[in-house]
Amino acid sequence: RKEVEQDPGPFNVPEGATVAFNCTYSNSASQSFFWYRQDCRKEPKLLMSVYSSGNEDGRFTAQLNRASQYISLLIRDSKLSDSATYLCVVTHPNSGYALNFGKGTSLLVTP
């Protein structure tokens, strides 16, 4: 079983739609949680950190449920430029805080 599991998609949504991605992680000792974004043939870039209290950055809202070991990302009012692969990431001390990536969820926003 992979440490971080994501629905690979693809999610095809029209501009303006709201889309939600989910992620589960297996290691209960995981300490930090993030969403990264990767555009085609580019490097991953940090989108946002994820906290138990939930956090919002413009159209993006991330949520962490430690009891269920579940992470979510909500994108409101999708833009064409949101098309990318969204990577769920966890870290834990036992692996030297290296980023453990999910396989990513592919999003395509269409006109």
Applying CB under 8 A, which residues contact another protein? 32, 34, 42-46, 49, 85, 87, 89, 91, 93, 95-101, 103-104
Nearer to another protein, 11 or 34 (CB): 34
Q: What DSSP letter does each residue of the chain carry, written as one string?
A: --SEEE----EEEETT--EEEEEEES-TT--EEEEEEE-TTS-EEEEEE--TT-EEETTEEEEEETTTTEEEEEE-S--GGG-EEEEEEEE-GGGTT--EE---EEEEEE-
Q: What is the smallest separation between the CB atom of 33 and another protein, expressed in angstroms? A: 8
Q: What is the smallest separation between the CB atom of 77 and another protein, expressed in angstroms? A: 26
